[in-house]
Structure 1
């Protein structure tokens, strides 16, 4: 993921660039200047209590954008690593709603996720292993440069032992940080250490009877009432999730981690624990949460919102990356209806990139999406226009759609416009699943019918090769002469009567693509509903 800026001027522009990945990268540059570290470590976290969702991908994609900006700002001279850390030793506190036969998992509550049987079948050793594999599969599909890390492996292998022993020695200091954040009832039983029961294998939320810093052990009451003493090392315990954040930062010497707004109030706790354990808290970036179609936070266990695979069924990976880049500090609905806009916006940004000055190129989302090397793509037809073409033609046959496209421009073929051909595939699938089921045609009222007839006749008087602007002028003229006020009511009538939807494309461009003769037939079909 290296970038090789060509001139010092390019570096100077990057130093002043306002795009948020550069703002975050500059913080990391200053951090390393203070610490003297020769490698920058980026981290993202994943809780495998459910299948990976787009929010998980977004965290890796956004961190990768910051990482690339850091490479540019340092002239690609400072090595970096990105660790994707899975908290798969966490106990399963509730059964996810979106797994096969959820009732069968109830007996495994509070076991570490890597000890819960895999409800999906297959060769994976556990529910946690399965979900980790799904995460890696998707990240690999996108070509992310990362190192996967498992909490189970890190705790059990001893990679955290040194800091865990330090936590035993700093137990009272950690408790002073944690107790004020808890209610009275929780304070009475709280411990930052969660022992793994030697008898049941469950993650226990129990108070400590003793913490022996010298021996590196904890003593607690097991589920059957027996007293147990175990070392804090070797995977016999894990830390509560808030102390675990700070411990991991200290153990790995993390320089940057972003997290959702739901973590924001806890960030000072993570920082203080990291410092107590001898680390230096990393730079943070807090992003807003994604919402489903009802405005509720998306959740892995609920399975609401969009899955990774669902987005990629209907649109390109690049459009998803654009969604992640844009306004990360603003809450956004993550549902099917946001897809068309992001597809078209991506190609608009791509088209603008080639004509922009270098300083503007660094602000363009496609520069960050493509790690400084956006492709050159000719996209003559928008995704929204293709959706309307499918809708108007009432055909989901690719060859029919390409017939309209070739009538518009005989030189265009799937072979010389592979990106457009890919978009046609997406449009057909999206229309079939999300547009067609909701299409509702209505009959025109008397004024609308008169205007539609006038438009039908006016189109007949135009030359067959009239361009979209000429056609649009006629649409405006007829709407004004018919007395539509505001004029958008005229366009709304066109969409509802002719396309069975409330919104649509720039109508002149649509007619140019669909063809004047076909458009006149479409108008006659609409008039016949009256």
Structure 2
């Protein structure tokens, strides 16, 4: 354990770098509250999207890194800002007209368009927790409505009354002239309409813990700031939460950089130290636009898990949090294959490399073994070539390549075969475009089919390539079950027919035979799909049967 902790204390993996900043807060003495508090925030104004999941996943990685470096207990709170006013009807939910009638109500008071919960926020909160639970995250869910109404924030709300002017002095310079005229850190919950009002305060009575404001109908009303009668405006609310709960760490997207800056100032004005923070880049959809809860664009958690295992999503979230990433369906195959590559590499790595391996931050030392003897990208091409409609079809080919593999012995591979069929039929098949070969490609493909017809023909093709290159090395052992030998045959045919650069030959194979401009290592594909089957596929391409 000491060696592991020592390695963690110097590891350059980003979760360890973040955890060291948290650890530095308590170099002199441990936290008075008895634990280090990590927090993530979520606004349930729309259905939870994949960015919300990513924040919890990444924060969990930092928390685990901290726990490896320190014996101080930790806690993770997933906080829902569900007392916020309902400002805009999301476009991706039913009952648009009915929801418009609930504008400006606290989110927990907005009707649930799905009819499953007491309110829209309750529905979205439950949906988020369901996903977090399915990934096994350890967290405590916290509701803004419950914290305000139960009095958990009362002490800090009273403190905000006393420091009202300091908060105003921090916020007003950041606002435009029109906004400054009506701004207040406190948002009264109207006793008349139940709306979250954005109105200026006429009086702030810190000694009494009350504020006075004017209702839209002109009536002046005095209410206490405690007990859920007011909610704080976004940036002061975030800072008040940090101060009230003594939050040690919270990351956020780059769109909230100013919120972090002003929130930190307000937190200090309330007499507390702001948390350590990481600013991460945002996810973009297929058009390069920021994903949004209200638009429902990009990729949802449900959609990712329709086409790949959960671990691949966590792996994707680990990668370069400070770099903007396109988040759409076509990133899934690469994430799946890279995850399993890292999983296979882990057992043979030294301690330093293991701590830098992304899979360590998903699984810790309890590392599963990869049973993906066939890459996911290869399964997709197999589904394409075989027009597979079910994973049972895929297993007929997989067993040619890996005779000892079964769905029971290789459950991840079995699941991936099903995912590949689904992904192929939903995304690859509709976009496949086959083309006829050029004269040069026709001749080369015909030679490839001939070379695959017998071991003698295959060796003759390799010998011809060797002679042209002045290579007198011995010929390899002919083995049509060996990926490397089959790749050598494909390589030799491309050289013999003058493809320069050679990647044009492989591109031709993919476009003519698989209907795509990119594809697998073709020797491995032949071994998986079958030599006879590949010859038949080539003949179909030569006869223009695939373009029909």
TM-score by length of 2: 0.94
Deviation (angstroms), 1:72: 0.5
Contact 1:25 1:69 in 2 (8 A): yes
Please say if 1:86 is aligned against 2:80: yes
CA distance in 1, matches of 2:89, 2:282: 23
1:224 aligns with 2:243: no
1:63 is matched with 59
User: Which sections of structure 1, spanning at least 5 residues, go unmatched?
Assistant: none
Distance 1:494 1:80 in 2: 54
Inter-partner Cα distance in structure 1 for 2:61 and 2:399: 38
CA contact (8 A) 2:448 2:490 kept: yes
1:20 aligns with: 14
Distance 1:35 1:167, change over 3 A: farther
Q: Does 1:204 pair with 2:197?
A: yes
Q: Are 2:410 and 1:395 equivalent residues in the alignment?
A: no
Deviations 1:122-177 (A, max 9, x none): 2x110011101101111111111000000000001110000000101100000000
Report the secondary structure of 1:256's partner residue.
coil
CA–CA distance in structure 2, aligned partners of residues 509 and 391 of structure 1: 15
User: Once the two structures are superposed, what CA deviation does each residue of 1:356-393 show, in whole Å capped at 9, x if it has no partner?
Assistant: 00110000000001133211223210000000001011
Residues 32, 40 of structure 1: 8 Å contact kept: no
Shift in CA distance, 240/35, structure 1 to aligned 2, threshold 3 Å = farther
Q: Verify the 8 A CA contact 2:480 2:486 in the aligned structure 1.
A: no
Equivalence for 1:40: 36
Pairing 1:154-169 to 2, within 5 Å after superposition = 154-169=147-162
- SS at 2:356 equivalent: coil
Look up the match of 1:480: 495
Conserved? CA contact 1:65–1:371, under 8 Å: no
Tell whether 2:359 aligns with 1:366: yes
Aligned residues: 521
Task: Render the CA deviation track for 1:229-253: whole Å, top value 9, x for unaligned.
Answer: 1000000000000001110000000
Question: Which residue matches 1:418?
Answer: 411
Hey, what does 2:50 align to over in structure 1? 54
Matches within 5 A, 1:254-403: 254-403=247-396
Counterpart among 436, 442, 445 of residue 452 in structure 1? 445
| Alpha-carbon distance in 2 for matches of 1:155, 1:34 | 33
> In the alignment, which residue of structure 1 is the partner of 2:471?
none
Quote the Cα distance in structure 2 between the aligned partners of 1:466 and 1:164.
72
Q: Is the 8 A contact 2:188 2:197 kept in 1?
A: yes
1:265 Cα shift? 2.4
| Unaligned 5+ runs, structure 2 | 456-477
Residue number among 531, 536, 539 corresponding to 1:521 in the alignment:
536
Look up the SS of the partner of 1:349 in the other structure.
helix
1:34 deviates by 4.0
Cα displacement string for residues 444-479 of structure 1 (whole angstroms, at most 9, x for unaligned residues) = 111111110011001112366341111111211111
RMSD: 1.1
Cα distance in 2 for partners of 1:265, 1:343 equals 35
The CA deviation at 1:339 is 0.1
Q: Secondary structure at the match of 1:108?
A: coil
Q: How many angstroms apart in 2 are the aligned matches of 1:243 and 1:371?
A: 37
Q: 2:172 aligns to what?
A: 179
